[in-house]
Amino acid sequence: MTSLADRPVNPVVGLTVSHESADLHVTGAALYTDDLVVRTPAALHAWPLQAPHAHARITSMRVDPAYDVDGVVKVLTAADVPGVNDAGIHHDEPLFPTEARYFGHAVCWVLGETLDAARRGAEAIEVEYETLPSLLTLSEAIAAGSFQGAQPTVSRGDAAGALQRAPRRFTGEFEFGGQEHFYLETHAALAHVDEAGQVFVHSSTQHPTETQEIVAHVLGLTSAEVTVQQLRMGGGFGGKEMQPHGLAAVAALGAVLTGRPVRLRLTRTQDMTMTGKRHPFHATWEVGFDEEGRILALQATITADGGWSLDLSQAVLGRALCHIDNAYFIPDIEVLGRIARTNKTSQTAFRGFGGPQGMLVIEDILGRCAPALGIDPGELRSRNFYEPGQATPYGQPVRHAERLHEIWEQLTDRADIARRQAAVAEFNETHAHVKRGLAMTPVKFGISFNLTAFNQAGALVHVYKDGSVLINHGGTEMGQGLYTKMRQVAATALGVPLTAIRHVPTRTDKVPNTSATAASSGADLNGGAIKNACEQIRERLAEVAARKLNIHPDDVRFVDGKVTGIGFTDTEMSFAEVVRAAYLQRVPLFAAGYYRTEGLHWDSARMQGEPFKYFAYGAAATEVEVDGFTGAYRFLRTDIVHDVGDSLSPLIDIGQIEGGFVQGAGWLTLEELRWDVSDGPGRGRLATQGASTYKLPSFSEMPEQLNVHLYERATESGVVYGSKAVGEPPLMLAFSVREALRQAAMAFGPADHVLELASPATPEAVFWAVQDARAAADGPATAEDARADAAPGPVEDADNLGLVASGDAVAAGRDGRLAHAGGGFTGHGDGAVDTGHRTVGAGAAGSGATVARASDG
């Protein structure tokens, strides 16, 4: 076997090739799970009955009226479950609940000959509910002490003592929103049972093995009696890691009970109202700096909104805690993590898996504190970068920390930062009502599953007598290009052209016990397994070729479909010839490959160890322009330098960097989830149920100029062909967009003014930030009076920065302007602010907002 990172002569990895399904995608010929229903005779269709309450006990349910609807075949309830009535891994997610825990919770499912029949059948069912108290916001849950799961702490040194000694201390509070996955393909499953009782489920899932296990335990079967296949996904982003299991189980249960195939596909509204999202977070913090702006200590509490059940919240929180340092060395630190239980969808995995939330906290802290410290935000960040030899708060050495500095310097040069900063300053001096901002932010993201056991993968490789190759592994294709990379890995390992490699859909009866395609580990894990299987076959073929060439097997070379020996350039055989000879000599031409990530250990109770194989680094610089009258903004330019090691497939990686960046920008600037938090009958209802009400980034939100450069000379040892993961790390490059918006809004006020910015930084949020900056420019009395009246309570600190706290407060100043004194205020609130001119009603203030009127406004 060769070293995992070594590349042979003329490798196929590293070549710029298009996505393996690109032609199928653009022509509409690519098959997805729900496309199979037209090929499945007599399939039934499933429709959910969703509860109209945020929290309610089901006191009675009459399903008989559904059977009076023409075309209804079966109503599925808890009484029909032969196994375990639970769809989760923590046994806290009943498939058919007796208590609705969020608005839209499916209480039963109807199967019909047509989708319309199933829908009308669900409408006919009579359910009586006893409404119960509900908690919807993080503020409500924290006040009520409503928490679930473990409460881990990551710590090092003496944070409290270091804060006491710190020359500069600041405190704050920050609450920021979640994000809807909005994959193009909604959740879908198609199940049928064969003549032997084998249950076969097509599922749009990132974790076929776990889907298999949940289906099996709901049906009371063994895993060997259930097969799950995943063709491809129209996007996943983490939303199909845990959430598909129960839906697949419903389809499988229906198929078992009726003897007919069952198709389940959620509408967009159902998908948005029934499935989990990125976790919103709340943070309180105190940070200390020395006189040069170096971080001395951090104490914080971060609280994730987990929704109604645990799902993956504990793992998400763990990764958030492991990334709250981002790229910065914090000598003394103590951060407590909690998971709130609320009556909303069970929040789940989303690209970055808690890392973005943890990193956003420290980036917001630095963005807020830089003006008070009198240090340029970019300079403040770079002064605190990890240096070689330093370790994270959880004890992992930061290998290749020098890359952070090199990437930062490269970006500074490539983006022409010094000249453009001067140009921005000149522009802002000459434009009273339009301002620009330019910001740089770094990324350090750990790659591997925090749960060490998940860091393994298997593969199955077949070589046929004609020299063609078929590969399979446990990774799933959701558009990210994993199958493309795996074909390149196999072609490289076998020394054959890419055209010789065929990839087949992922299914549990070919490669068992697989991990989710998540944690950016798909290429690392499955690539290692593919390479291992191919090398087993190649070593056998080398023995055959060596006898024909009369050389030692170690001297046989496989290149571009030809088999030669060192020094035998005039003698060669085709790969197919060697394969045929191997078959005639009864040499096996298939192999099962396996890979486990070495060097990992993690104690989740102590939050100590080395959970990551390596760190992916990157940095981005973004320039924006903000209209002071409306808060509307333009993304003018973004420059990115990102570390992907030695790229397996550069075109795929650049696409992932661009896509991740835009998705991150959507989370931080546009995508605002809103729930009805009133006490009316609609309490708990998701108000943003589709593209008409939930703003997604589109071409118009792309930077007018986007430059992506892959960091060079970046081979990562111990990883397949020296590459690095690229799925999640680029999302955090979008912090540069948010910080650029902060810089632009700050330009409307004094340079030392501490400016909070809500997340998402919608145009509305930016407008209020501009108003805050302008109020500060009008004079200390105006701004401070507004802040004092709006603040929910005194917060003391050494630099009068306590009101960077997200008190979720909006107040009217003496001059009638609205001054915002808290981040996150663009969420929901029912209070109103009387400015003397107009009333700003519900939606102007954040969750748990304090709305105040200045004493003389």
The label of the residue with tokens 């078992």 reads: 256
- H helix or E strand, kind and range, residue 458: strand 456-463
Q: How far is CA 534 from the centre of its chain?
A: 32
Catalytic residue among 728, 739, 756, 764: 728
What is the DSSP code string of 520-560?
T-HHHHHHHHHHHHHHHHHHHHHHHHHHHHTS-GGGEEEET
DSSP strand pairing (456-463 vs 818-820): unpaired
SS (H, E, C) 626-646: EECCCCCEEEEEEEEEECCEC
| Closest alpha carbon to 311 in 54, 89, 84 | 89
- Antiparallel, parallel or unpaired: β 506-507 and 573-574: unpaired
CA atoms within 13 A of residue 406's CA, in its CB half-sphere? 13
DSSP state, residue 372: H
Alpha helix locations (H) across 240-390? Answer: 244-258, 268-274, 313-322, 355-373, 377-383
Task: Classify strands 833-834 and 818-820 as parallel, antiparallel or unpaired.
Answer: unpaired
The structure tokens listed for 139 are 């503020």
Tokens of 153: 């702490």
Tokens of 73: 């075949």
What phi and psi, each to the nearest 5 degrees, are found at residue 799?
Answer: -120, 25
What would the two tokens of residue 699 be? 């071409």
User: Does the annotation mark 625 as catalytic?
Assistant: no
User: Under a CB-based contact definition with an 8 Å cutoff, are residues 835 and 854 in contact?
Assistant: no
Residue 481 near residue 725, CB atoms below 8 Å: no
- Residues whose CB is less than 8 angstroms from the CB of residue 177 and which lie 6 or more positions away in sequence, other chains included: 280, 671, 672, 673, 759, 760, 824, 827
Q: How many CB atoms lie within 10 A of CB 207?
A: 28
715: tokens are: 């081979």
E strand or H helix that includes residue 709: strand 705-710
Reported as half-sphere exposure (CB side, CA atoms, 13 A), residue 852 has a value of 23
Which residue reads 């993590």 in tokens? 337
Contact 138, 280 (CB under 8 A): yes
Q: Which residues are catalytic?
A: 728
